[in-house]
A and B are shown apart, each in its own frame.
Chain A
Amino acid sequence: MRKNGFARHALIETLHTVQSSFGYLDDDAIKFVAQTLRVPLSQAYGVVTFYHYFSLKPPGKHTVTICAGTACYIKGADKLIEAAEKHLGVAQGQTTSDGQITLMTARCVGACSRAPVVLCDGEVAGEMASEQMIEQLERWAVE
Chain B
Amino acid sequence: MTLEELEQIAQSVKQESAKYDYELNVCMDLACMSQGADKLKDALVKAVEASGKTVMVRKTGCMGPCSSGPLVRVDPQETLYHHVNFGHAEAIVNNLGGDPVPSLQCDLNDHFESQVRVVLENAGHIDPEKIDDYISRDGYKALLMALTEMTPNGIIHRITESGLRGRGGGGYPTGLKWGTVAKATGDMKYVVCNGDEGDPGAFMDRSVMEGDPHRVIEGMALAAYAVGASKGFIYVRAEYPIAVARLTSGLRDARRRGLLGNNICNTPFSFDIEIRLGAGAFVCGEETALLASIEGKRGTPKPRPPYPAVSGLWGKPTLINNVETYANIAPIVRNGGKWFASMGSERSKGTKVFALTGKITNTGLVEVPMGIKLREIIERIGGGVPDGHKFKAVQTGGPSGGCIPAELLDLGVSYDGLMKVGSIMGSGGMIVMDDTSCMVNVARFFIEFCMTESCGKCVPCRAGTAQMFTLLSRICDGKATMDDLDLLIELCGTVKEASLCGLGQTAPNPVLSTIQYFKNEYIEHIVNKRCPAGVCKIQAPVEVLA
Decide if A9 touches B295 in the complex (CB within 8 Å).
yes
Q: Once the chains bind, are B437 and A74 in contact (CB under 8 Å)? A: yes
State the Cβ distance, B144 to closest chain A Cβ, in Å: 31
Chain A contacts of B312 at CB under 8 A? none
With A47-B296, A70-B398 known as contacts, the answer to whether A108 contacts B200 (CB < 8 A) is yes
**A69 to B431 alpha-carbon distance, docked (Å):** 11
CB pair B297–A74 under 8 Å, yes or no, is no
Beta-carbon contact of A71 and B357 below 8 Å: yes
> Which A residue sits closest to B197, measured CB to CB?
A110
Give the complex CA separation of A5 and B142 in angstroms.
33
| Bound Cα distance from A9 to B433, whole angstroms | 42
User: In the complex, what's the smallest C-beta–C-beta distance from A42 to chain B, in angstroms?
Assistant: 11
What's the nearest-Cβ distance from chain A to residue B282, in Å? 7
Which of A72, A113, A126 gathers the greatest number of chain B CB atoms within 10 Å? A113
Determine how close the nearest CB of chain B comes to the CB of A115; give it in whole angstroms.
6
Residue of A nearest to B429 (CB): A70
B277 touches A115 (CB 8 A): no
B206 at the interface (CB under 8 A from A): yes
Contact of A46 among B35, B201, B298, B363 (CB under 8 A): B298
User: Interface residues of B toward A: which range?
Assistant: 35 or more
Q: Which residues of A contact B399 (CB under 8 A)?
A: 70
Contact pick for B279, options A51, A71, A117, CB 8 Å: A51
Closest residue to A14 on the B side, CB-wise?
A: B296
The smallest beta-carbon distance between A72 and chain B, in angstroms, is: 8
Establish whether residues B239 and A109, one from each chain, have CB atoms under 8 Å apart when the complex forms: yes
B279 touches A110 (CB 8 A): no
CB B295 to nearest CB in A, in angstroms, measures 5
Known A109-B239, A110-B203; judge A13-B33 contact (CB<8 A). Answer: no
Is B30 a contact partner of A124 (Cβ separation < 8 A)? yes
Please tell me if B34 contacts chain A, counting CB pairs below 8 Å. yes
In the complex, are the beta carbons of A16 and B203 less than 8 A apart?
no
Contacts of B445 in A (CB 8 A): 70, 73
Check A87 for interface membership: any CB of B closer than 8 A.
no
Give the residues in chain B near A10, CB-CB below 8 Å: 296
What is the chain B residue whose CB lies nearest that of A16? Answer: B277
Q: Which residue of A lies closest to B535 (CB)?
A: A78
B358 engages A9 (CB within 8 Å): no
Q: Mark A112-143, 1 if CB is under 8 A from B, else 0.
A: 11110100000111100000000000000000
Tell whether A124 pairs with B280 under 8 Å between CB atoms, given A47-B296, A111-B203: no
Partner of B298, one of A47, A71, A111, A112: A47
Interface size class of A (residues with CB under 8 A): 35 or more
**Cβ-closest chain A residue relative to B210:** A110
Tell me whether A12 and B363 are in contact (CB under 8 A): no
A75 contacts partner chain B, Cβ-Cβ < 8 Å: yes
- CB pair B357 A52 closer than 8 Å: no
Q: Mark A5-35, 1 if CB is under 8 A from B, else 0.
A: 0001111110110000000000000000000
Q: CB-CB contacts of B11-31 with A at 8 A, as 1s and 0s?
A: 000000000000000000011
Tell me if B512 counts as interface (CB < 8 A to partner A): no
Q: Which B residues lie within 8 Å of A46 (CB)?
A: 298
B201 touches A13 (CB 8 A): no
Residues of A within 8 A of B277 (CB): 12-13, 16
B366 to chain A, nearest CB (A): 11
- The answer, yes or no, to whether A43 is at the interface (CB within 8 Å) is yes
Residue of A nearest to B453 (CB): A107
Residues of A within 8 A of B282 (CB): 107
Given A11-B296, A74-B433, A112-B355, verify A51-B276 contact (CB < 8 Å). no
Q: How far apart are the CA atoms of A62 and B532 in the complex, in Å?
A: 39
Asked whether B238 lies within 8 Å of A53 as measured between CB atoms, the reply is yes
Flag if B201 contacts A70 (CB, 8 Å). Answer: yes
Docked-complex contact A52 and B358, CB < 8 angstroms: no
**Which B residues from 293 to 324 make CB contacts under 8 A with A?**
293-299
**Minimum distance in angstroms from A116 CB to a CB of chain B:** 11
Q: Are A113 and B200 in contact (CB under 8 A)?
A: no
B239 and A106: CB pair below 8 A? yes
Residue interface mask A31-74, B partner, CB < 8 A = 1: 00000000100010011001111100000000000001111111
CA distance A70 to B297 in the complex (A): 28
For residue B431, give the distance in angstroms from its CB to the closest CB of chain A.
5
Question: Least Cβ distance of B198 to chain A in Å?
Answer: 7
Interface string of B348-373 (1 = CB under 8 A from A): 00000001111100011100000000
Which of B202, B203, B281, B296 is close to A9, meaning CB atoms less than 8 Å apart? B296
- By the criterion CB–CB under 8 Å, are A124 and B238 in contact? no
Measured between beta carbons, the chain B residues less than 8 angstroms from A9 are 294-296
Query: Can you spell out 6 A-B residue pairs with CB atoms less than 8 angstroms apart?
Result: A12-B296, A53-B278, A53-B279, A108-B203, A111-B30, A113-B67
A-B pairs, top 3 by smallest CB distance, nearest first, are A69-B200, A51-B279, A113-B66
Interface positions of A (Cβ within 8 A of B): 8-13, 15-16, 39, 43, 46-47, 50-54, 68-75, 106-115, 117, 123-126
